Structure 1
Amino acid sequence: MASRFSYFQLHRRLYTTTTDQWSIKQVRNSNFHGCLGDLKNHISDSDFIALSLQRTGSSSFPWHRPQPFDTLDTAYCKAKYAAEKFQILQFSLCPFSVRDSKLIAHPYNFHLFPRDELNIGMPSYSFSCQVSHLTSIAREGFDFGAWVYDGISYLSRAQESIAKAQMGCQTLTPNTDAVKSSSEPSVFDTIFVQRVKSRVKNWKDAYDSSSKTNDALLSTLKKLIVGIEQYGSRPSIVIDVYSERQALLALELLKEFSDDVVPVVISAKSGGTQAIRAILTSSKEDKILLEKELQNLEDEENKKFRGFREVIEMISASQKPIVSYSSLHDFTFIHSKFLAPLPTSIDEFASSLHLVFPRVLEVKHLMSKIGGLSKPMSIAAALSYLKKHYYAPTYLDIPIEAPGNDHKPQGHNAIRLCHLFAKVCSLLKIDLSGVQSNNNECLASMLEKCSNVSSSFSPYHHEPKDEDVKIWARDVRKASCRHLVFLWGFREGMTAPLLKASLEGSHEVFCEEFYVRFVDKKCAIIVFSQPGLSETFLDAINSDCIVGSLREMVSEGLRATGYETYKRMCRFDLWEADLAESLERAIFEADPETAQLDINYSNDTVISLDDL
């Protein structure tokens, strides 16, 4: 028995590693562009990409955090509110692969700061910070000075389009294959196309004839008459357009001259397209050379605008599965900062995100399939639990490759997440090493075993109308949203047992089993065990016919509402400090007149002017 124990301990020591001893590539603005090449290679060579975000805050008040009783819709509203209010401080990224029991990882930690480098008011004028978050990273030795002065800035896709339009930038290599007329051409379209076609033909003919003549003056006059300009050393012509439709028609027309003409779109400062520049090349080789030059110019232009978003585009282009611990929080921030403003609904968000990141694997979902890991816990706590209760050998291989790597605790969560993912998959008998062969069937099988890992972000996800939710984080029991009632306006100093005792016997609905849970100090949830009781209670509390102790509680200010009001409150972004205040606002804004009348709960609390 002793020898077996020693053998087990030896294997545990060999195959588990403390993540804090490994170095992380710390990336700031000063070394950002220099590390992109290595990162691209690491992403290409890896099978998965783990990511973890450090934010300037997560919630202003406790009830703003997603709660067990939140539906997918209300949880999204809360995540959306946080993503729009706070910023990403550090973006930890770790491309990794698993070979048998060996985890090969390449961790990076990017320091981000939304600096307005182009003087266009983007990406952000201001953002919020939460004291507890800043205090936590300060204890880890975070350099706030370097963050402000050497943090990497960025623009989202939507902001980049706006910025390029404001600065009148050119779209150097338009995708003319995607240009199609949306409807039948009108008479004006036909006239415009014929005029442009005639002008382009005359331009080409004039250039050909002028290049053959020996008379320099005559050649110059021909170029002036036709309107030939120079783009570098090559002749070009500018076609003015007055609508996006004319721009599409001009690009479609230039396909007829695609053997030696390259089109370039010139953006208007007010937005849209100002003109189309056509550039004439001398040969097939010259055209290839020009297109390469334009692509290089576009890449340099994109780097200037995108900043850190280059990394996001790199991840998206790789189409590698992304491993996240809390995908809703992570990807609402990513969508808000790097793609576009967040949509109002979870379904729109899921569809938009799926186009950019089609494979998102949430480790929390996998953990729920293992006994003891279904309760909420941090990544570090989950790793510690697995180490104590399960034998899942995983050896970390993190090469120290370049200067700039250090042993500070910043950015270690991405490595821990890789480690946790590999261990959980090992326990669930999911073979990650098969992904390396690019075997689509193997990958599909693995993702099938991880069913519902990314169901929250599936564009085909449809939430049931009567969704069941949990009430307590550490209790697996669920209740229908229709059985929940929010209660506030009770006496100060109340606790859940005291409030439950006060309600028992106050009305017939409380003769059946019910539960009470406090959300914050001023608001509680009542969970009825039988259908229809919540509606009966809400009708009673808003009626003049109530009697007994419930009437007394109502006269003292007791208020109640159903789950639909809570949904509406989240959807309308009514985020007050107290949940009770937000619910009051939601009731008032839904029906101001009724809400104003409902303040007087019974005739005893109404002051008659005749009595004065």
Structure 2
Amino acid sequence: MARRRMAAATTFKARFAGASVKQVTKSNFAAVIPQIKADIEAAEFIAISTRKTGDSSSSSSHRRPWRMILPFDTSETAYLKSKLAAENFELLQFAVCPFSIRGSKVLAFPYNFHLFPRDELTLGMPSYSFSCQTSFLTSMACEGFDFNACVYDGISYLSRVQEAKVREINMGSWMHTVASSQNFSVADSIFKERIKARITHWRKGCKDTGRTKDESFVQSLRKIVLGGEDYGSRPGLSVDICSEKQVLLVFEIVEHISDDLVPIVISHNGGESKAVRVVLTSSEEDKKALLTEIQNLEDEKNLKLRGFRYVIDLISSSHKTIVSDNCLHEFTFIHQKFLGPLPATLSEFMCSLRLLFSNVIDLNHLLKEFGPLRKAKNIPSALSYLKRQYFAPVELEVPVRAEDGNQCHGNNVLKLTFLFAKLNILLKNAPSSLTKLELSTSMEDYANIFYPASVTLPEPGDDDDETGLRIDTTRRVSTDNILFLWGFDGVISAMELKNRLLQIHPVFSEDFDVLLADKSCTIVVFGRKGAAGILVKDMGSVDTISGVLREMVVDGLRAAGYDAYKKVCRLGLWEGDLADSMEVALADTVEEDLCSLSRTNTNEINWNSEMMIDLNDLWTKYWIDGG
């Protein structure tokens, strides 16, 4: 079985081994922009995939495993954990694949951008720092990732918020939108009349067609007297200014004098405007050519300033459907790095994200909607299942456009593209056996729904599963039925703790599950509504209880409802063990009824009973997805 599983994995990798993913660094970034811009405009969809220095979905991500996204997390707490990861870790690779589907053929144009954040423009932005996880860096190193090239030739970037701050401080544009000035001061009026007379006199002198024998001498004197200077092959005049308001005044004056004049802002090295250069063009065609030159210079300046975010803006402005996997996690990184600081809540995040991408399809959510595919552990297992069960041929065509080098980087985005194409074909030609597909007629019905991808840890016997599928025992559980317990003696396994709990209270005589969040705290999921509230109430009345429960409460056994856990995540109490963080949250009495287990608007989670694991598994095991 192990051999068959390895053979299947080898076949899956071989499918994309020959694909050519264009590797993009700072050296060829500018040259690639026109190419990817054309590919984005021609595509139907855009798949994206990233490689990071770490994240919150790995069991090795922290010394405190409860900071992983786990089965007891709601969408809100999962977002807060993803937010923590996005604020601490960094993106090193960003793969983009514009693609179109024509019948059973997929035409894909994959790019893999190598990133590294730096203040290379010396704009005075805050220095960048980030955390790393050795498991992530080791995996990239095994694939041949060149960390030296990343540091020295990786593409830097600014977020939209950072760029706005830079432009506000010291990065003005060469061109200004002319607006009618209001409420002129006396000084403004004097400045306008003086500059208007000077520009008019200079333009008249330049237009003078009279020639003399001493033409060169006269022209030199005119330039000295009027302050004229050439702008390339065109006559120019520099007007010194003292404020941004004077820049606008000069632009307004030029607009009213003549159509053959073009004003250009000249800046200091620091970025502040120091003058406006007025350029005289010879014809309408010459003026258009000059404006094109200026726009090209402006685009080059913007590209250098924004860095890789220029590509993000191209994707955003295209309004194409974005395809990715585990989007809650991916897009918290994208928001943090390329839009701005992450909002405090999931709803605010989703609203803010719509400023960048209006239509996002999460393959992780899509797989959960496709019947048996909800049991797939990763993309290879999903593709393997589809290949065995449904006839949906897909021909992936990737033009060979990459240079020599390691082509394995960025292949994940091709896997996403291939899986999405198969699902898309099935959706359009849904067989009657796929009841889930009959509920929808287009991919748009699955857009903008981010399904939190929790860590799934392998149980004994998983290694014998050649299909890559797990038994689906997931059920909807109200957070009112979840209880956090800590203060039990020693570090014991989940099964041992469950057997011990059977002896302390009648509520444990019915169905319940136990999951160790870390060495200090356990999560109990009750099958009967109200059981958690009964236990909390009894533990709060030490004088009325007896036996083992009383002894454990006296020795320090503590309990809290799900609201306490949500408060821990909301306050960012990430640094301690979960038990210590829960104590801090309980000590903060700002919010009333912290331990309440009966709320009008309760949340639900997707609970899987297979998460009853030994604590040693929590520290040492983690199923690494192939996608």
Please confirm whether the aligned pair reaches a TM-score higher than 0.5, indicating the same fold. Answer: yes
Partner of 2:465: none
Residues 284 and 537 (structure 1), Cα distance of their counterparts in 2 relative to 1, 3 Å cut: farther
Deviates more, 1:118-127 or 1:562-571: 118-127
Given that 1:173 and 1:291 are in contact with CA atoms closer than 8 Å, whether structure 2 keeps it comes out as no
Partner of 1:96: 99
CA distance in 1, matches of 2:84, 2:284: 53
CA distance in 2, matches of 1:193, 1:528: 75
Partner of 2:303: 303
Partner of 2:47: 50
1:89-238 correspondence runs (5 A): 89-120=92-123, 124-163=127-166, 168-175=170-177, 194=189, 197-211=192-206, 223=226, 233-238=235-240
Partner of 2:445: 451
1:356, CA displacement in angstroms? 1.9
Given that 2:491 and 2:520 are in contact with CA atoms closer than 8 Å, whether structure 1 keeps it comes out as no
CA distance in 1, matches of 2:243, 2:348: 34
**Which deviations, in whole Å up to 9, do the C-alpha atoms of 1:513-559 show, x marking residues without a partner?**
54333223322222344555444433443445442232211222212
Aligned with residue 63 of structure 1, among 63, 66, 69: 66
1:335-354 correspondence runs (5 A): 335-354=335-354
CA distance in 2, matches of 1:119, 1:247: 25
**Which deviations, in whole Å up to 9, do the C-alpha atoms of 1:77-123 show, x marking residues without a partner?**
11111111111122122121111111111222222222442345658
Secondary structure of 2:54's match?
coil
Residues 192 and 384 (structure 1), Cα distance of their counterparts in 2 relative to 1, 3 Å cut: farther
CA distance in 2, matches of 1:413, 1:258: 57
**Which deviations, in whole Å up to 9, do the C-alpha atoms of 1:157-185 show, x marking residues without a partner?**
3333444566x433123455xx799xxx6
CA distance in 1, matches of 2:487, 2:254: 71
Gaps of 5+ in 1: 1-14, 432-444, 458-466, 596-612
Partner of 1:39: 36
1:254-333 correspondence runs (5 A): 259-260=259-260, 262=262, 277=276, 279=278, 281-282=280-281, 284-333=284-333
Secondary structure of 1:171's match?
coil
Given that 2:424 and 2:443 are in contact with CA atoms closer than 8 Å, whether structure 1 keeps it comes out as no
Partner of 1:77: 80
1:254, CA displacement in angstroms? 7.2
TM-score for both structures, normalised by structure 1? 0.76
Given that 1:116 and 1:122 are in contact with CA atoms closer than 8 Å, whether structure 2 keeps it comes out as yes
Residues 134 and 249 (structure 1), Cα distance of their counterparts in 2 relative to 1, 3 Å cut: same
1:410-559 correspondence runs (5 A): 410-429=409-428, 448-456=442-450, 474-504=472-502, 506-507=504-505, 509-510=507-508, 513-548=511-546, 549-559=548-558
Deviates more, 1:198-207 or 1:141-150: 198-207
Given that 1:470 and 1:478 are in contact with CA atoms closer than 8 Å, whether structure 2 keeps it comes out as no
- Does 2:400 align with 1:383? no
CA distance in 1, matches of 2:539, 2:395: 61
Partner of 1:605: none
Partner of 1:355: 355
Given that 2:163 and 2:306 are in contact with CA atoms closer than 8 Å, whether structure 1 keeps it comes out as yes
Gaps of 5+ in 2: 1-11, 211-217, 431-438, 458-469, 595-627
1:401, CA displacement in angstroms? 3.0
- The percentage of aligned residue pairs carrying the same residue is 44
Partner of 1:604: none
TM-score for both structures, normalised by structure 2? 0.75
CA distance in 2, matches of 1:471, 1:403: 38
Deviates more, 1:294-303 or 1:19-28: 19-28
Given that 2:323 and 2:361 are in contact with CA atoms closer than 8 Å, whether structure 1 keeps it comes out as yes
Amino acid at match of 2:383: L
Given that 1:488 and 1:522 are in contact with CA atoms closer than 8 Å, whether structure 2 keeps it comes out as yes
1:572, CA displacement in angstroms? 2.1
Given that 2:158 and 2:307 are in contact with CA atoms closer than 8 Å, whether structure 1 keeps it comes out as yes
Residues 58 and 553 (structure 1), Cα distance of their counterparts in 2 relative to 1, 3 Å cut: same
Residues 267 and 517 (structure 1), Cα distance of their counterparts in 2 relative to 1, 3 Å cut: farther
CA distance in 2, matches of 1:138, 1:170: 41
**Which deviations, in whole Å up to 9, do the C-alpha atoms of 1:562-608 show, x marking residues without a partner?**
2222222222222125322322233334569x99xxxxxxxxxxxxx
Given that 2:428 and 2:442 are in contact with CA atoms closer than 8 Å, whether structure 1 keeps it comes out as no
Secondary structure of 2:375's match?
coil
1:156, CA displacement in angstroms? 2.4
Amino acid at match of 2:473: D
Deviates more, 1:535-544 or 1:351-360: 535-544
Partner of 1:392: 392
Deviates more, 1:526-535 or 1:479-488: 526-535
The two structures, once aligned, show a CA RMSD in angstroms of 4.1
CA distance in 2, matches of 1:238, 1:308: 35
Given that 1:48 and 1:97 are in contact with CA atoms closer than 8 Å, whether structure 2 keeps it comes out as yes
1:368, CA displacement in angstroms? 1.7
Given that 2:266 and 2:274 are in contact with CA atoms closer than 8 Å, whether structure 1 keeps it comes out as yes
Amino acid at match of 1:155: L
1:244-259 correspondence runs (5 A): 259=259
Given that 1:319 and 1:358 are in contact with CA atoms closer than 8 Å, whether structure 2 keeps it comes out as yes
Given that 2:106 and 2:421 are in contact with CA atoms closer than 8 Å, whether structure 1 keeps it comes out as yes
Partner of 2:568: 569
CA distance in 2, matches of 1:252, 1:67: 61
Residues 498 and 39 (structure 1), Cα distance of their counterparts in 2 relative to 1, 3 Å cut: same
Residues 249 and 552 (structure 1), Cα distance of their counterparts in 2 relative to 1, 3 Å cut: farther
Amino acid at match of 1:313: D
CA distance in 2, matches of 1:582, 1:258: 70
Given that 1:27 and 1:109 are in contact with CA atoms closer than 8 Å, whether structure 2 keeps it comes out as yes
Given that 1:122 and 1:155 are in contact with CA atoms closer than 8 Å, whether structure 2 keeps it comes out as no
Residues 531 and 308 (structure 1), Cα distance of their counterparts in 2 relative to 1, 3 Å cut: same
1:276, CA displacement in angstroms? 7.7
1:409, CA displacement in angstroms? 2.8
Secondary structure of 1:29's match?
coil
CA distance in 1, matches of 2:275, 2:440: 48
CA distance in 1, matches of 2:165, 2:399: 41
1:237, CA displacement in angstroms? 3.0
CA distance in 2, matches of 1:334, 1:248: 36
CA distance in 1, matches of 2:584, 2:268: 44
Amino acid at match of 1:23: S
Residues 237 and 229 (structure 1), Cα distance of their counterparts in 2 relative to 1, 3 Å cut: farther
Residues 419 and 336 (structure 1), Cα distance of their counterparts in 2 relative to 1, 3 Å cut: same
Given that 2:266 and 2:277 are in contact with CA atoms closer than 8 Å, whether structure 1 keeps it comes out as no
CA distance in 1, matches of 2:346, 2:400: 41
Given that 1:123 and 1:155 are in contact with CA atoms closer than 8 Å, whether structure 2 keeps it comes out as no
Number of corresponding residues: 543
Given that 1:365 and 1:453 are in contact with CA atoms closer than 8 Å, whether structure 2 keeps it comes out as no
Secondary structure of 1:487's match?
strand
CA distance in 1, matches of 2:561, 2:262: 62
Secondary structure of 2:29's match?
helix
Residues 220 and 266 (structure 1), Cα distance of their counterparts in 2 relative to 1, 3 Å cut: closer
